[in-house]
Copies of this chain bind each other. A is one copy, B any other.
Amino acid sequence: MTDSWTLTETPCAFNRRLGTDALFTLGNGYMGCRGFFEEEQEGVEGLGGIYMAGVFGKGALKAWKGMHRELVNTPNVFWLSIKVDGESVLVRPRRISGYLRTLDMRGGTMARSFTWKGSRGARIRLEFERFVSAANLHLAGQRLRITPLDGPARIEVAAGIDASVRQHNMETTLPLPIQPGRQHLETRFSRDGMIETRVATLPRGVRIAEGQEVRMLGPKGPVAGKPVAFPGRAAERFVFTCPRNATARMSKLVHFFTSRDGNAMALLRKSMKKGMDYDSLLSAHRRAWASRWKMADIEIEGAPDDQRALRFNLFQLMQACPEHDSRVSLGARGLSGEMHEGSVFWDNEIFKLPFFTFTRPNATRSMLRFRHRTLPEARRHARDLWFEGAMYAWKSGDDGVEETEMGVGAYYAIHIVADIAYALRQYWEATGDDDFMARYGAEILVETARFWQSRIYYDPIRKTHNILAVRGPNEYDVIVNNNCYTNMMARENIRYALEAMVLMKKRYPAAWRRLSVRLKLDAREPAAWRRSARGLLICRDRKGGLYLEDDMYLHRAPFDMKRGKTDGRRVIDGNLPYEAMAHYQITKQSDVITMMNLLPWMFTTGQMRAAYAFYEPKTVHDSSLSYAPHAVMAARLGMKREAYRYFRDCAYLDIADIQLNTISGLHFANLGGTWQAVIQGFAGLYQHGNILRLAPHLPRAWKALRFRVCYRGAILRVEMRGHKTAVTLERPGAEPSVLMIGGRRIRLSRKGESATA
């Protein structure tokens, strides 16, 4: 814990060694690499844990339709075997001292070092370093330093790419125990330090081509390596003797391509001809990270622990984002683990995208294009269920097919459709990217509005428009009618479609005509949408102050929280089965509160207070998506202590393993949620009517908060200190930036212009 840029682990957690691997994940959006030990050990540590965006195999669950997919554990490109005087270097108690694992978040590197004592007592110092290049998506680097401390030692190091890895589990939904699971890879070729594998479990599985360049600098100069033949592994072995206190240095570059890039082997061969060196690649990598941090970093004055935790969340979020490839999006565990099979859910749009939208809008654009690419599947899904337009999959792999098992509720959890529309609209307002709207956004909005139009049922008896049989963000509600979140968001979705239509007609009439023809849009459709949106039932209690999660929430039995939530485990894992939940007033995770955070301009403070006071005590937080919305809402309501407590639940969720399953990957929605807690909560940021709003609600422990925001092409630097907010226009956009800070309207147009409120 040396500084607020470094996450450290010391001493070695022998008993739960893999438990913290996810925290030390490195990645560049193309590849994610858990912080596993490189050197071969005795158990499941050899499984590695490297994932590549879009590399899926056939999973074990029974998909709604089609074939269930899971993110594939790809070859361990950092595989090492180290022997000293014929003895394997194994990380065992009493053999290891001075153990330290560090994640340098500023530079994007991971390091590990320890002193190992052989069975005859001689000590050896080992130092590892690795990175996955942020400057070149297809490269990674690894370094090893070995120093005998007590006398000369005979060193044997084999460095390779190991394709004999398996998934981390047989059961895809259980975090523990990690044990060798399905094997997806078939090795097709292995020579000259290059290996080509194929995901054999899918009919046209991706091919992966990987190659290594290893250099070993012994005490007397370069050591020549020899290829080691071993099935499914491309490796080179170095054997030499190293005197006391002399250091041998191995450096290795890895190149990787897949058939998703083109001819993977050809690309690999070309790349390996370039002749890169470790140090210059690492420098380029560090420069790339410095540039990323410049825009994304948030500085907290007065709370170094919070500062470090916050940076950890942002760092991991940035690392996994597949900004380069709109054929994929960001899974629930990113590229840091196998839970949820690498699939994309609603939380991508609602929890992760805001960070990118306001700091790196191109990343959002790419992930929204993924949703546009999967429109055909969403249309098919709607049609299969007798609806119109596009019904996005609740759980989507790379092809957009619904991967939730039948019966598990995908049919009900349709708010995802509106969540995508919301994120799209949020991106459009925050960037003014009309081109995106014209090319992709309008089509999504029209098709999702159509879906709602067919899914909304007009009840001729009650004379209301209803959305029946849904599951809101509160997944313990099993099925309800008129979930407030779903209905409000569906209404927004329709409004956004109508708004997009106006824009299109005005700015892109020809494109709009083409789209209308292609979608066979009837001129009467928009009016029908408008009627539905207007008529949609939004349930409130009789006095009108309390928005009701669904039309029966108040009429269910009160839940005995003391009996139901007795420990850290989820209620359904401990005390009461899922089926029983529909009987009770119990909220698994924020539902109305999340909705209010998304549309804050629609609610009075009184309504927000009422919702918080009513739902917060009924919420069991059995999801990682629950803390951040509570932090945001509490902050906006000025409940500083509660807001700070919820912020800490978010910020430390993975570091402290609050949900007991970080071993299976980081909680990406919560990473984004941590940003939301700080920026949308403590800094009170939201946009409405092309005005960016800010309102400081800093925790008492924080002296100041500094961050940057991208807004409609401009870059704004914000500093909050107590109740004061200073904003500087660091880079102007095409139009002046309009802000509302604590009720004061501010207009900034010149570079460097500042305002304080």
A residues adjacent to B (C-beta < 8 A): 64, 385-386, 406-407, 409-412, 457, 459, 461-462, 466, 468-469, 478-479, 481, 552, 554-557, 560, 563, 576-580, 582-583
The answer to whether B411 and A459 touch across the interface, beta carbons within 8 angstroms, is no
What's the Cα separation between A580 and B556 when bound, in Å?
23
The answer to whether A578 and B407 touch across the interface, beta carbons within 8 angstroms, is yes
CB distance from A423 to the nearest CB of B (A): 25
Which residues of B are found within 8 Å of A412, using beta-carbon distances? 579, 582
Which residues of B are found within 8 Å of A560, using beta-carbon distances? 386
Which residues of B are found within 8 Å of A481, using beta-carbon distances? 552, 555
The answer to whether B579 and A410 touch across the interface, beta carbons within 8 angstroms, is yes
Contact of A577 among B385, B563, B579 (CB under 8 A): B385
The answer to whether A457 and B557 touch across the interface, beta carbons within 8 angstroms, is yes
- Of the candidates A406, A466, A469, A560, the one having the most CB atoms from chain B within 10 angstroms of its own CB is A469
The answer to whether A582 and B469 touch across the interface, beta carbons within 8 angstroms, is yes
Contact of A385 among B409, B457, B466, B576 (CB under 8 A): B576
Chain B, Cβ-Cβ closest to A551 = B552
Which residues of B are found within 8 Å of A556, using beta-carbon distances? 457, 468
The answer to whether A406 and B578 touch across the interface, beta carbons within 8 angstroms, is yes
The answer to whether B461 and A580 touch across the interface, beta carbons within 8 angstroms, is no
The answer to whether A580 and B478 touch across the interface, beta carbons within 8 angstroms, is no
The answer to whether A411 and B577 touch across the interface, beta carbons within 8 angstroms, is yes
| 19 examples of A-B residue contacts, CB within 8 angstroms | A386-B563, A386-B576, A406-B579, A407-B407, A407-B578, A407-B579, A409-B579, A410-B579, A412-B582, A457-B556, A457-B557, A457-B583, A461-B554, A466-B555, A468-B552, A469-B478, A469-B583, A481-B552, A481-B555
With A386-B563, A469-B478, A563-B386 as known contacts, state yes or no: A461 contacts B579, CB within 8 Å.
no
CB distance from A63 to the nearest CB of B (A): 12
CB distance from A688 to the nearest CB of B (A): 34
The answer to whether B457 and A582 touch across the interface, beta carbons within 8 angstroms, is no
The answer to whether A462 and B406 touch across the interface, beta carbons within 8 angstroms, is no
The answer to whether B580 and A385 touch across the interface, beta carbons within 8 angstroms, is yes
Which residues of B are found within 8 Å of A555, using beta-carbon distances? 459, 461-462, 466, 468, 481
What's the Cα separation between A527 and B557 when bound, in Å?
21
The answer to whether B580 and A386 touch across the interface, beta carbons within 8 angstroms, is yes
Q: Which 10 A-B pairs have the closest CB atoms?
A: A411-B579, A469-B582, A457-B557, A469-B583, A459-B555, A468-B583, A479-B582, A406-B577, A411-B580, A385-B580
- Of the candidates A410, A554, A583, the one having the most CB atoms from chain B within 10 angstroms of its own CB is A583
Which residues of B are found within 8 Å of A461, using beta-carbon distances? 554-555
Which residues of B are found within 8 Å of A406, using beta-carbon distances? 577-579
What's the Cα separation between A330 and B665 when bound, in Å?
49
What's the Cα separation between A138 and B639 when bound, in Å?
77
CB distance from A452 to the nearest CB of B (A): 14
Chain B, Cβ-Cβ closest to A412 = B579
Which residues of B are found within 8 Å of A468, using beta-carbon distances? 552, 555-557, 582-583
What's the Cα separation between A433 and B583 when bound, in Å?
38
Extra pairs beyond A386-B576, A407-B578, A412-B582 (5, CB < 8 Å): A386-B560, A457-B557, A461-B555, A462-B555, A481-B555
CB distance from A192 to the nearest CB of B (A): 47
What's the Cα separation between A556 and B478 when bound, in Å?
17
What's the Cα separation between A407 and B479 when bound, in Å?
13
What's the Cα separation between A725 and B656 when bound, in Å?
81
Which residues of B are found within 8 Å of A579, using beta-carbon distances? 406-407, 409-412
What's the Cα separation between A459 and B576 when bound, in Å?
22
What's the Cα separation between A60 and B555 when bound, in Å?
38
Which residues of B are found within 8 Å of A557, using beta-carbon distances? 457, 468
What's the Cα separation between A304 and B467 when bound, in Å?
53
Chain B, Cβ-Cβ closest to A478 = B479
Chain B, Cβ-Cβ closest to A577 = B406
Which residues of B are found within 8 Å of A466, using beta-carbon distances? 555
Which residues of B are found within 8 Å of A469, using beta-carbon distances? 478, 580, 582-583
CB distance from A543 to the nearest CB of B (A): 12
Which residues of B are found within 8 Å of A563, using beta-carbon distances? 386
What's the Cα separation between A555 and B583 when bound, in Å?
20
What's the Cα separation between A466 and B583 when bound, in Å?
10
What's the Cα separation between A557 and B462 when bound, in Å?
13
- Of the candidates A385, A409, A411, the one having the most CB atoms from chain B within 10 angstroms of its own CB is A411
Chain B, Cβ-Cβ closest to A578 = B407
Which residues of B are found within 8 Å of A411, using beta-carbon distances? 577, 579-580
Which residues of B are found within 8 Å of A554, using beta-carbon distances? 461
Which residues of B are found within 8 Å of A410, using beta-carbon distances? 579
CB distance from A575 to the nearest CB of B (A): 8
Which residues of B are found within 8 Å of A459, using beta-carbon distances? 555
Which residues of B are found within 8 Å of A462, using beta-carbon distances? 555
- Of the candidates A386, A406, A412, A554, the one having the most CB atoms from chain B within 10 angstroms of its own CB is A386
CB distance from A581 to the nearest CB of B (A): 8
Which residues of B are found within 8 Å of A578, using beta-carbon distances? 406-407
CB distance from A453 to the nearest CB of B (A): 13
- Of the candidates A461, A563, A580, the one having the most CB atoms from chain B within 10 angstroms of its own CB is A580
CB distance from A62 to the nearest CB of B (A): 12
CB distance from A231 to the nearest CB of B (A): 34
Which residues of B are found within 8 Å of A580, using beta-carbon distances? 385-386, 411, 469
Chain B, Cβ-Cβ closest to A410 = B579
What's the Cα separation between A466 and B555 when bound, in Å?
9
CB distance from A458 to the nearest CB of B (A): 9
What's the Cα separation between A560 and B479 when bound, in Å?
22
What's the Cα separation between A579 and B64 when bound, in Å?
11
Chain B, Cβ-Cβ closest to A555 = B459
Chain B, Cβ-Cβ closest to A461 = B554
CB distance from A344 to the nearest CB of B (A): 20
Which residues of B are found within 8 Å of A64, using beta-carbon distances? 577
What's the Cα separation between A554 and B409 when bound, in Å?
23
CB distance from A292 to the nearest CB of B (A): 42
CB distance from A642 to the nearest CB of B (A): 28
What's the Cα separation between A577 and B385 when bound, in Å?
8
What's the Cα separation between A392 and B466 when bound, in Å?
36
CB distance from A554 to the nearest CB of B (A): 6
What's the Cα separation between A412 and B552 when bound, in Å?
17
